[in-house]
Chains A and B, each alone.
Chain A
Amino acid sequence: MRLFALYRKSQSRLKIFPVFIAGMLIVMIGGLGWRQLLHEQFYAEREEIQHLRRVLVPAPRGNIFDREGRLLVGNQPRVSAIVYLNELRPQFRRQYIDLVREYQEENIPSQGHNLQVLARATVMQRYMDKVNQVLGRQDTIDARTVERHFQQERLIPFPLVEDLHPREYARLLEQLPSDSPIQLFTTSLRHYPHGPLASHSLGYTGNLNEIPPEGAPGETLATFHIPGTTGRSGLERAFDEHLQGQSGAMIWLVDPSGFQFDLVEHSPPVPGNDLHLTLDARLQKIAEQAIGDRRGAVIALSPQNGGILALASTPGYDLNDFVPRLSSEASTRIEEREAWLHRGIQGLYPPGSTFKMITAMAALRDGIIEPESTSFCHGFHTVGNRRFPCHNRQGHGEVDLVEAIRVSCNVFFYEHGLATGVDRIASESRRLRLDQPTGLEIPHESRRMIIPDREWKRQRLGESWFPGDTANLSIGQGFIRLTPLQMAAYTAAFASDQSFIQPHIIARPESLRAVSEDSSRALQLEPSHREALLQGMFEAVETGTARFARLDDHPVAGKTGTAQVRRRGETLHMAWFIGFAPVENPEIAIAVLVEGMEARDSFAGGATAAPIAREVLEAFFNPEEASDILEVSVSP
C-alpha cells in the first residue's frame, strides 16, 4: 500500500486504477449476484435438463366388460428377456480393448468407432447365446440394432427376446442366475379372451412409440419412451383416452455419457379406466354363431333404453392376431375375406321389404290409406309402360294392410306408395332419422346413407324423379341405402312407440332409465294405425313370410325383406329380418342382414335371416341356454 501511495503521489494518473479495479469488482460481484441470486432458478433448471432424463413407462389399459361383468378385453403380461446397456459398459470396454489388440497383432486397419460397434454387438451376442442355450433357440444380434439402441435409447432396456412364452420365461427364471444382467421385463399387452367375438366393435390396438406424457413428472426433461399401445379401431379407439391410463415416469440422474447413475424419482403408471358395455357377450356369441360363415350383421338392442345387446358383423377377425402386431399374412387373410368392414354400422344396403313399414307409416300418417284399405295383387303392378313384379308371380289377390305386411305383397305397397308420393315417404324416413347416423359410440359409422328424393336425384344424377323410382322406394329398392344399425334402431323405436331411439353400447346410469318421455320423439301414429302395423308384423311371424322367426313361448313381431343389388354384373340378394319381442312390452329388437356374395346365393329374408333372428331371440329369453358358450380355456 505504501508503494501504491508513493506512486499515487508521484503519478496522479494511477489514481484511476483503484477506481477501475473497484468498478470491475463491483461488476463481477454484481454479475455473480445477478446470476446466482436472481437467475438461480434458470440455472437450476438447465442443470436438471442436462443431468436428468425421463423414461416414460406405459400404463396398462383399462379392461372392457360386458353387461354381466364378463371380461371382453383385458391385459396380459408380455415378458421379454432384456439387458440394460449400462450394466454392460465394463464388458464393452474390455471387449473393445481385446479387439484393438487383436487387430493390431494381425495388422488389420480399422476405425475405432467400428471396433466399438463390433465390441458392443459381440458382448450382446454372448448374452443372446446364453438365452439361446436355455431356450434352445438360435437368435442372433443385429449390430445395427444394438448401435441404434446404444445411441438413441440407452436408458431403455435392450430386448434380447421379446414375447416369451410362459414356458420360456419359466426356463429363464429357473436357469439364469438371479444376479445375471439378463432380466425379465414385463409390459402389458391386450388380451381378448374370446378371440374374434365382437371384433369390429371392440376394435384393436396398435403400437405407440411415444406414449402420452400427461400427468407424468419431469415434463421439461429429455424423455425416452418405453413403447405402449393406442386404440386403432372400434371402442379401443373411441375411448382411447379413457382406457389409456397415466404413464409412469422414472427420472434418472445420468452420467456424462448419458447412462443411468441414480434413480431420482419414480412415479408408477396408473392403469386406465375400465369400460362397461351394454353388450351381452353370450348373445353376441350366439348371433355370430348363427350367422356362421355368411357375410352380414346381426344387431340386437333394448327397445326400452337403446342399449346394444349384440352387434355382430361377419366375417370378423381374431383380435389376438393384432397382439403384439398384425402379421402381413393375417392382414392379407382379413383383406381377402373383406373382413375389415364393420357391416353393422358401415355396410350400406337397400332395406328391401322391411322398408314397407315406413311406406305404410307415411301413407297412414297422411291419410292416404286406412288399415282397411285394400289392393288387388295380380302378381305385378304397371307404372307407365313398365311392370313392377310382386315376389308372388301368381298374385296375392285382394289384400288389406295387415295381409300385405303378412305376405309382404309388393303390389299393395307399389300402389299406395305411389299415391303417397316420394316426398311423404322421404319425409317419414327423415322423421325416423334414417337420413343420419345413429350416433353410436363406435367410430366410423357410415354417413353415406341415402334417403332418395327429387332433390337428391337431381343433384346426384342430374335426372328427374320418375314414378318408377317411387315404386322402387316403396318396397325399399332402388337408390335407398341404410345400415343394419339404422334398421335395428328404427325397429326398436317402433317397438317402443318412438320415432327414434338413441342406440348406445356404453353402459351409463341413464341406460337403466326407461325410454324418454320426450314428446318430440314419440312416433305420433294413430293407435289404430300402429295397431294394424303391429298386427301385420305379428301375423308375418305367426303364419307369414317371417314364420321361421317364430318362438313358442313369446309372441314376436317381424318383417322380412329380400333386396336385390347389382354388383359386378350380377344380381345379389340381401336377406333382411327386423323384429322385436314380446309384441307387448318388447324387451329386445333385432335386425339381421345376410349379404349374398354371388348370384347363386339364393338368400331370402324368410329362409335365411329369420332363422338367425329366432336363434338370438330364443337365447335372449332363455338365459340358461348355452350358458357355457363363452367358457375360456386357460393354459400356461
Chain B
Amino acid sequence: MPRKSLFQRRPLLILGIAFLVWLLLPGIIKTFFRTSIIELQAPSRQAASVVRDVQDYWALRSAGRNTLLRELSDLSRQNSYYQLRSQRIALLEEEIKRWEQLYNLPSHPEYHFEIARVVQRDSTTWWQEMTIRKGRQHGIRKGAPVVFAGGVVGRVREVHLATATVELLSSPGLRLSARISGEARPLGFQGGENRPFHPPGGRLDFIPADYQLPEGTEPLVVTTGLGGVFPEGLVIGRLTSLEESEETLFQAGRVRLDQRLHQIREVAVMIALEESTQASERE
C-alpha cells in the first residue's frame, strides 16, 4: 500500500491544527468569534423569517371570502369576550393594589410584553432552544422570562443586537420555582424529560410525600413567583404522574408540557418595567 504524502494528508492536518488552536485560544476570543458568527448569520435568519411571514400572509390572502368572514365573526366574538375579561382584570388589579396598600405589602412587579416572532426553533432531544427576532435594541435582557398563550416558553439565554436565544422550558438547564395549582408549597421544576417522538416534558421535584394526585385529573403546574424571575401563576404544564424519590421526604413528578411549544410562531418577552426604566435612564 503506497504511503500517503504529507500533501495528501493536508486536510486532516489543517483540521487538527485548527482544532488545537481553537482549544488553546483564550475564552474571550472564542466568545468573540461565536458572537460574530451569530451576528453575521442574524440578517439571513431574519430575512428567512420575514419570507416565512410573507408566505403566511399570502397563504391567508388566498383564503376564500366566506372563510374570512367566518374567522372575522369568531374573532369579533372573542374580542368582546376578552374586552369583558380585560375590564374584570383591571378591576381586580385595582382591588389587589388597594389591599397591598392597606397591608403595606410589596407590590407585584409590572412587566411590559415585547412581542417577538420566532426565527429558528431547535427542540430536538439534543438542543432545547429557539431564536427570536428581537434583541438588545428592543430592550430584551438576559434571563427575561418568555411566555406565550399556553404559559411559560422559557428564559432568554443570550441577547444579540437584533436577535435573542431562548432556552426552552424543556431544556434540562432550565429550573424554576413551581407549585401545583391549589397547593401553597413551592417545588422545583426542571426540564429535560425529552424522549424522541414524545411530547416535551419536565420533572417536578420536592413534592411532599403526603401529596396525592387527584384521581382522574392532571393538575396544573404553575410558577410561584418566589424565584424572582418568573411572575406568579404562569402555566408550566400538567402533572401527569408521581414517582418515589430517593429522598424519602419527597416524591418526584412528571410534567407534560404544552405540545404547542414545538410550533410556536410568536412569543412575548416579559421585561420588568422597573428594569427597563433603569436601562433607559442609563442610556
A residues neighboring B (CB under 8 Å): 59-60, 75, 77, 134, 166-167, 169-171, 173-179, 184, 186, 188, 266, 268-271, 634-636
Q: Which residue of B lies closest to A171 (CB)?
A: B228
- Give the chain A neighbours of B228 by CB distance below 8 A: 134, 170-171, 174-175
A173-B248 in contact (CB<8A): no
Provide a sorted-by-A list of 12 A–B residue pairs whose CB atoms are within 8 angstroms: A77-B250, A134-B228, A166-B226, A167-B186, A173-B177, A174-B229, A186-B250, A268-B246, A269-B248, A635-B184, A636-B186, A636-B224
Across-interface contacts of A188 in B (CB, < 8 A): 249
Give the chain B neighbours of A634 by CB distance below 8 A: 184-185
Give Cα A184 to B177, complex, Å.
Answer: 13
- Cβ-defined contact, B227 with A174, below 8 A: yes
B220 at the A interface (CB under 8 A): no
Task: Assess the A184–B188 pair: CB atoms within 8 A.
Answer: yes
Interface range, B side? 20 to 34
Query: Taking the nearest CB of chain A, how far is it from the CB of B224, in angstroms?
Result: 6
Q: Do B184 and A636 have beta carbons less than 8 Å apart?
A: yes
Contact of A77 among B179, B206, B229, B246 (CB under 8 A): B206
Given contacts A188-B249, A634-B185, 11 further A-B contacts (CB under 8 A): A60-B248, A134-B228, A167-B186, A170-B186, A171-B177, A174-B229, A174-B230, A178-B175, A184-B188, A186-B247, A266-B246
Instruction: Name the A residues within 8 Å of B184 (CB-CB).
Output: 634-636
Provide the B187-202 mask, 1 if CB < 8 A to any CB of A, else 0.
0101000000000000
Which residues of A sit under 8 angstroms from B177, Cβ to Cβ? 170-171, 173-174
Q: In the complex the two chains form, what is the Cα distance from A269 to B248 in whole Å? A: 7
- Asked if B43 lies at the interface with its beta carbon under 8 angstroms from chain A, I say no
Contacts of B179 in A (CB 8 A): 636
Contact of B188 among A173, A179, A268 (CB under 8 A): A173
**Distance in angstroms between the alpha carbons of A635 and B179 in the assembled complex:** 13
Q: Is B109 an interface residue, CB under 8 A from the partner? A: no
Given contacts A186-B249, A268-B248, A636-B185, contact A170 B175 (CB under 8 A): no
Contacts of A186 in B (CB 8 A): 206, 247, 249-250
Q: How far, in whole Å, are A59 and B246 apart by their CA atoms in the complex? A: 11
Chain A residues closer than 8 Å to B174, beta-carbon distance: 178
Q: Does B172 contact A (CB under 8 A)?
A: yes
Residue of B nearest to A168 (CB): B226
Give CA–CA (A166, B178) in the complex, Å: 11
Given known contacts A77-B206, A186-B206, A170 and B173 CB-to-CB distance under 8 angstroms: no
Cα–Cα, bound, A538→B9 (Å): 112
Q: Distance (Å) between the CB of B223 and the closest chain A CB? A: 9
What 0/1 pattern do residues 219 to 235 of B give for CB contact below 8 A with A? 00000101111100000
**Interface residue? B176 (CB, 8 A):** yes
Q: Contacts of A77 on B, CB cut-off 8 Å?
A: 206, 249-250
CB pair B173–A179 under 8 Å, yes or no, is yes
Give the chain B neighbours of A176 by CB distance below 8 A.
175
B residues less than 8 Å from A170 (CB atoms): 177, 186, 224, 226-228
In the bound complex, do residue B248 and residue A59 qualify as a contact, i.e. CB atoms below 8 Å apart?
Answer: yes
Please measure, in the bound complex, the distance between the C-alpha atom of A134 and the C-alpha atom of B176, giving whole angstroms: 14
Judging by beta carbons under 8 Å apart, are A173 and B176 in contact? yes
Question: Which residues of B are in contact with A by a Cβ distance under 8 Å?
Answer: 172-177, 179, 184-186, 188, 190, 206, 224, 226-230, 246-250
Nearest-neighbour CB distance to chain B for A496, whole angstroms, equals 38
Closest chain-B Cβ to A250's Cβ sits at a distance in Å of: 10
B125 to A: closest C-beta gap in Å:
17
Minimal Cβ-Cβ distance residue in A for B185: A636
Inter-chain CA distance A169–B249, complex, in Å, is 16
A175 to B226, CA, bound (A): 11
B249, A173: Cβ atoms under 8 Å?
no
The winner among B177, B206, B229 for most chain A CB atoms within 10 A is: B177
A179 and B173 CA atoms in complex are apart in Å by 7
**Residue numbers in B under 8 Å from A635 (CB-CB):** 184
CB distance from A339 to the nearest CB of B (A): 30
- Known contacts A169-B186, A173-B175; A60 and B249 CB within 8 A of each other: yes
Taking CB atoms, residues of chain A closer than 8 Å to B206 are: 77, 186
A558 to B178, CA, bound (A): 57
Q: Are B176 and A174 in contact (CB under 8 A)?
A: yes
Q: Which of A134, A178, A270 lies at the interface centre, i.e. has the most chain B CB atoms within 10 A of its CB?
A: A178
Residues of A within 8 A of B250 (CB): 77, 186
Q: Which of A171, A173, A178, A184 has most B Cβ within 10 Å?
A: A173
Q: How far, in Å, is A226 (CB) from chain B's closest CB?
A: 12
CA distance A176 to B190 in the complex (A): 12
Nearest chain B CB to A288's CB is how many angstroms away?
26
Q: Which 4 A-B pairs have the closest CB atoms?
A: A174-B227, A170-B177, A170-B226, A170-B186
B229 lies within 8 A of A175 (CB): yes
Residue of B nearest to A185 (CB): B247
* C-alpha gap A634/B185 in the complex (Å): 8
Q: Which of B172, B179, B230, B247 has the most CB of A within 10 A?
A: B247
Chain B neighbourhood of A169, CB < 8 A:
186
Name which residue of chain B comes closest to A166, CB basis.
Answer: B186
CB distance from A213 to the nearest CB of B (A): 18
A178 touches B186 (CB 8 A): no
Q: Which of B172, B176, B186, B250 is packed against the most chain A CB atoms within 10 Å?
A: B186
| Chain A residue with Cβ nearest B183 | A634
CA gap between A608 and B244 in the complex, in Å: 53
CA distance A392 to B78 in the complex (A): 87
B131 to chain A, nearest CB (A): 20
Which chain B residues border A270 with CB–CB below 8 Å? 248
Tell me the minimal C-beta distance from A76 to chain B in angstroms: 8
Complex Cα distance, B185 from A351, in Å, reads 50
Please determine whether B227 and A173 come into contact, CB atoms closer than 8 angstroms: yes
Give A593 to B63 CA distance when docked, in angstroms.
89
Taking CB atoms, residues of chain A closer than 8 Å to B186 are 166-167, 169-170, 636
Note all chain B residues with C-beta closer than 8 A to A175.
Answer: 227-229
Expressed in whole angstroms, the Cα–Cα distance for A185 and B65 within the complex equals 61
Evaluate whether A171 and B226 lie within 8 angstroms (CB atoms) in the complex, with A178-B173, A636-B184 already known: yes
Which of chain B's residues have a CB closer than 8 A to the CB of A271? 248
Q: Min CB distance, A139 to chain B, in Å?
A: 18
On chain B, the residues within 8 Å of A59 by CB distance are 248
Residue in A75, A177, A266, A636 whose beta carbon sits within 8 Å of that of B226 in the complex: A636
Cα A186 to Cα B205 in complex, Å, equals: 11
Please, how many angstroms separate the alpha-carbon atoms of A246 and B188 in the complex? 27
Residues on the A chain within 8 Å of B188, using CB: 173, 184
* Cβ–Cβ < 8 Å partners of B229 in chain A: 174-175
Contacts of A177 in B (CB 8 A): 173
